[in-house]
Amino acid sequence: MSNPCAGILIVCALALVAMPVEAGEISFRGHFRCGLNNYSWPLSPDTPPTPGGSGVIEIDSDGNGKFTAGTMTQHLADDTHFGGENVCTFHLASGEYHMSSVNAGTSSIAWTLQQGSDNHCGAYTRNLMLLGFQASARDYRPFSTTSNFFLLDDGSSKWVGASLLGVSIGACAPTH
Protein backbone atom coordinates (compact mmCIF):
# COMPACT_ATOMS: atom_id res chain seq x y z
CA MET A 1 0.00 0.00 0.00
CA SER A 2 1.36 3.38 -0.97
CA ASN A 3 1.37 6.14 1.60
CA PRO A 4 -0.57 9.20 0.37
CA CYS A 5 1.63 11.39 2.57
CA ALA A 6 4.96 10.06 1.30
CA GLY A 7 7.10 12.72 -0.29
CA ILE A 8 5.54 15.65 1.49
CA LEU A 9 8.73 16.13 3.45
CA ILE A 10 10.35 17.01 0.15
CA VAL A 11 8.35 20.26 0.07
CA CYS A 12 9.03 21.09 3.68
CA ALA A 13 11.34 23.99 3.90
CA LEU A 14 12.00 26.82 6.15
CA ALA A 15 10.70 30.18 5.34
CA LEU A 16 12.63 33.11 6.61
CA VAL A 17 11.91 34.84 9.80
CA ALA A 18 12.25 38.59 9.90
CA MET A 19 13.44 40.47 12.92
CA PRO A 20 12.33 44.12 13.01
CA VAL A 21 15.22 46.51 13.40
CA GLU A 22 13.64 49.89 12.77
CA ALA A 23 10.41 50.92 11.10
CA GLY A 24 10.47 49.56 7.55
CA GLU A 25 13.87 47.83 8.02
CA ILE A 26 14.24 44.07 8.48
CA SER A 27 17.26 42.01 9.52
CA PHE A 28 17.59 38.25 8.93
CA ARG A 29 20.31 37.58 11.46
CA GLY A 30 20.05 35.20 14.39
CA HIS A 31 18.42 31.98 15.56
CA PHE A 32 14.85 31.04 14.62
CA ARG A 33 12.38 28.33 15.64
CA CYS A 34 9.68 27.13 13.26
CA GLY A 35 6.78 24.73 13.55
CA LEU A 36 5.56 22.85 10.47
CA ASN A 37 2.70 20.61 9.40
CA ASN A 38 2.45 18.37 6.32
CA TYR A 39 -0.72 17.40 4.45
CA SER A 40 -1.41 15.26 1.41
CA TRP A 41 -3.84 16.65 -1.14
CA PRO A 42 -7.49 15.63 -0.69
CA LEU A 43 -8.47 12.47 -2.57
CA SER A 44 -11.58 14.24 -3.93
CA PRO A 45 -13.23 17.67 -3.74
CA ASP A 46 -15.44 16.38 -0.92
CA THR A 47 -12.66 15.13 1.38
CA PRO A 48 -10.23 17.03 3.61
CA PRO A 49 -6.44 16.91 3.22
CA THR A 50 -4.75 14.03 5.09
CA PRO A 51 -2.30 15.05 7.85
CA GLY A 52 1.12 13.55 7.16
CA GLY A 53 3.27 14.76 10.02
CA SER A 54 4.57 17.69 12.01
CA GLY A 55 7.90 19.00 13.14
CA VAL A 56 10.24 21.71 14.33
CA ILE A 57 13.03 23.58 12.55
CA GLU A 58 15.81 25.39 14.42
CA ILE A 59 17.95 27.49 12.07
CA ASP A 60 20.52 30.30 12.03
CA SER A 61 20.72 33.05 9.44
CA ASP A 62 23.73 35.29 8.75
CA GLY A 63 21.63 38.29 7.65
CA ASN A 64 23.14 38.17 4.15
CA GLY A 65 20.88 35.64 2.39
CA LYS A 66 22.41 32.44 3.81
CA PHE A 67 21.40 29.93 6.46
CA THR A 68 24.50 28.84 8.38
CA ALA A 69 23.33 26.04 10.71
CA GLY A 70 20.12 24.18 11.40
CA THR A 71 18.18 21.03 12.22
CA MET A 72 14.72 19.82 11.25
CA THR A 73 12.97 17.13 13.29
CA GLN A 74 9.81 15.61 11.81
CA HIS A 75 7.31 13.10 13.16
CA LEU A 76 6.06 11.31 10.05
CA ALA A 77 3.95 8.48 8.73
CA ASP A 78 4.94 5.96 6.06
CA ASP A 79 3.67 2.75 4.44
CA THR A 80 3.66 0.90 7.74
CA HIS A 81 3.30 3.59 10.44
CA PHE A 82 0.72 6.19 11.37
CA GLY A 83 1.56 9.90 11.41
CA GLY A 84 4.04 10.80 14.10
CA GLU A 85 5.57 7.36 14.65
CA ASN A 86 8.75 7.91 12.63
CA VAL A 87 11.14 10.45 14.13
CA CYS A 88 13.36 11.89 11.41
CA THR A 89 16.11 14.40 12.17
CA PHE A 90 17.87 16.32 9.40
CA HIS A 91 20.85 18.69 9.40
CA LEU A 92 21.25 21.73 7.20
CA ALA A 93 23.55 21.01 4.26
CA SER A 94 23.09 24.47 2.68
CA GLY A 95 20.46 27.17 2.50
CA GLU A 96 19.69 30.59 1.11
CA TYR A 97 16.83 33.01 0.71
CA HIS A 98 15.85 35.68 -1.80
CA MET A 99 13.47 38.56 -1.18
CA SER A 100 10.93 39.28 -3.94
CA SER A 101 9.46 42.26 -2.04
CA VAL A 102 9.82 43.93 1.36
CA ASN A 103 7.77 41.22 3.08
CA ALA A 104 7.81 38.16 0.79
CA GLY A 105 10.34 35.85 -0.81
CA THR A 106 11.55 32.30 -1.37
CA SER A 107 13.96 30.01 0.43
CA SER A 108 15.94 27.04 -0.88
CA ILE A 109 17.40 24.60 1.62
CA ALA A 110 19.23 21.27 1.33
CA TRP A 111 18.86 18.81 4.22
CA THR A 112 20.74 15.62 5.12
CA LEU A 113 19.24 12.83 7.22
CA GLN A 114 21.00 12.40 10.58
CA GLN A 115 22.49 9.00 11.34
CA GLY A 116 20.34 7.23 13.94
CA SER A 117 16.99 8.51 12.65
CA ASP A 118 14.23 5.95 12.14
CA ASN A 119 15.17 3.62 9.26
CA HIS A 120 11.94 4.55 7.45
CA CYS A 121 12.96 8.21 7.10
CA GLY A 122 15.24 7.76 4.07
CA ALA A 123 12.56 5.99 2.05
CA TYR A 124 10.05 8.63 3.06
CA THR A 125 12.14 11.54 1.83
CA ARG A 126 12.73 9.78 -1.49
CA ASN A 127 9.03 8.79 -1.90
CA LEU A 128 9.97 5.10 -2.00
CA MET A 129 7.68 2.36 -0.75
CA LEU A 130 8.94 -0.28 1.67
CA LEU A 131 12.61 0.56 1.11
CA GLY A 132 13.42 2.15 4.43
CA PHE A 133 13.72 -0.84 6.70
CA GLN A 134 17.51 -0.80 6.56
CA ALA A 135 19.46 2.42 6.26
CA SER A 136 21.56 2.72 3.11
CA ALA A 137 23.82 5.36 1.55
CA ARG A 138 20.85 6.57 -0.53
CA ASP A 139 19.10 7.69 2.68
CA TYR A 140 21.86 10.15 3.58
CA ARG A 141 22.14 12.02 0.29
CA PRO A 142 21.06 15.68 0.64
CA PHE A 143 17.67 16.65 -0.74
CA SER A 144 16.51 20.18 -1.53
CA THR A 145 13.36 22.00 -0.59
CA THR A 146 11.88 25.36 -1.57
CA SER A 147 9.10 27.47 -0.14
CA ASN A 148 7.45 30.85 -0.32
CA PHE A 149 7.35 32.97 2.82
CA PHE A 150 5.55 36.03 4.08
CA LEU A 151 7.00 38.31 6.75
CA LEU A 152 4.96 39.97 9.47
CA ASP A 153 5.68 43.24 11.29
CA ASP A 154 6.32 41.45 14.60
CA GLY A 155 9.34 39.59 13.17
CA SER A 156 7.56 36.29 12.60
CA SER A 157 6.84 34.63 9.27
CA LYS A 158 4.41 32.23 7.66
CA TRP A 159 5.45 29.88 4.85
CA VAL A 160 4.16 27.27 2.43
CA GLY A 161 5.72 24.69 0.13
CA ALA A 162 3.81 22.43 -2.28
CA SER A 163 4.39 19.51 -4.64
CA LEU A 164 2.23 17.07 -6.57
CA LEU A 165 1.89 15.02 -3.38
CA GLY A 166 0.90 17.67 -0.88
CA VAL A 167 1.64 20.84 1.01
CA SER A 168 3.65 21.90 4.03
CA ILE A 169 2.81 24.97 6.06
CA GLY A 170 4.60 26.58 8.94
CA ALA A 171 5.23 29.55 11.18
CA CYS A 172 8.56 30.87 12.46
CA ALA A 173 9.63 33.23 15.24
CA PRO A 174 12.99 34.64 16.29
CA THR A 175 14.44 33.30 19.54
CA HIS A 176 16.47 35.43 21.90
Q: What is the pLDDT of residue 83?
A: 53
Task: Pick 8-174's CATH classification: 2.40.160, 1.20.120, 3.30.2420, 1.20.1630.
Answer: 2.40.160
Query: In the prediction, which pLDDT does 11 show?
Result: 39
Q: Along the 176 residues of the chain, how does pLDDT read in single tens digits?
A: 344 444 444 334 444 444 443 444 455 678 999 999 988 889 899 999 988 789 999 999 887 889 999 999 988 765 555 555 678 899 999 999 998 888 888 999 988 888 877 766 766 555 555 444 555 666 677 878 889 988 888 878 899 988 777 889 999 999 87
Q: Give the start-to-end residue ranges of the domains of the chain.
A: 8-174
What's the pLDDT score for residue 153? 83
Q: Length of the chain in residues, anyone?
A: 176
What pLDDT does 67 receive?
Answer: 93
Predicted local distance difference test score (pLDDT) of residue 20: 41
Angle at the Cα of 8 (from 7 to 11), degrees rounded to 5? Answer: 110
